[in-house]
Amino acid sequence: MKILKGTLLLLLRILPWVILGIVFYLGYHGQLNAIIKYLSSPELTIKVGKTKITPYLIIKSAIIIIYLFWFASIVAGMFSKVFLKIRTISNNSRALAVKVISILIYIIAFFITLQLLGIDLTTLAVFSGAIGIGLGFGLQKITSNFISGFIMLFEGSISEGDLLQLTNGIEGVVKNVGARATLIETYDGRDVMVPNEDFIVNQVINLTHSDKMARMELKIGVSYNSDLKKAQEIIVNAAKNHPAVSKIKTPDCFLREFGDSSVNFTMFAWVDDVTNGRLTPTNDILFEIWAKFKENNIEIPYPHRELIIKRPKLDKA
């Protein structure tokens, strides 16, 4: 199956070059003259003002546009691969450079297309106002997302590998910052395309912007009959001994309140790399606290309610 797929991809890559070679060969030997003459005949010509539009011109324009922009995409892809191999610059700088070069290549391809088609660039000034209005309304969102992507890459606020939390509840790792949207892989393996504009106009929490450290918060209650100092010591040691917990920022445990049924502690601990997750360290620490509490006869209470039923006194008959 993989061999067949690879063969098909190879044929698809070669086919455009084969078609282009056949067309050039036939044109060079004059085999297409009769077809060109027929497609350029006055009977098939449409006049729009001073411009003559023929089927030959339409087909020629389509072929030139398709092949030039296809070739431009190949060149842009080659530059992209070259820049991605350069490890001395940041991911954002590489992505920004690739986008700028891609845009320049497509702009050059656009002007080459106009020259090959014989279109006078000065005539475009007549339509510039209408085109500007059309782009303003029709491509408003696309333009906004495109510019937002450049802003994100230029500022360096979001990079590949960052762990983000969005206001709409999406949380995951940035896989790619594209021209229109950013690809985020959520914890359950889903790929979510988020428009770049959302990162500019909405609040975004970047958990790994400055570093990959993140804080865990655990709330634990013990009974009033427990040794509070011992309970606090057990909670802190359970966090300190976990390999994922940072040694730079040591865990802290505070007695926060005397509740209805328990004395409540809050423990804060930092993990060195939040991209590895916080659920596993939290799970391990809580199991360790549970085991140590049982060894030291420290009870984790649950709410108790005392119900008193008062019966009304009945008058004797």
Domains of the chain, first to last: 15-123 (no CATH), 156-206 (2.30.30.60), 214-295 (3.30.70.100)
- Is residue 96 pLDDT above 70, yes or no? no
Q: What percent of the chain has pLDDT over 70?
A: 78
Q: What is the pLDDT of residues 128-148, one digit of tens each?
A: 555 566 656 656 777 777 778
pLDDT given for residue 231 in this prediction: 93
DSSP 116-141: HTT--GGGHHHHHHHHHHHHHHHTHH
- Is residue 108 pLDDT above 60, yes or no? yes
- Is residue 309 pLDDT above 70, yes or no? yes
Q: What is the pLDDT of residues 213-261, one digit of tens each?
A: 888 899 999 999 899 999 999 999 999 999 999 888 889 999 999 988 8
- Is residue 6 pLDDT above 70, yes or no? no
- CB count within 10 Å of CB 294 equals 11
Which helix H or strand E contains 22, and what residues bound it? helix 2-28
Supply the angle between the helices 55-84 and 2-28 in degrees, to the nearest 10. 130
pLDDT given for residue 291 in this prediction: 93
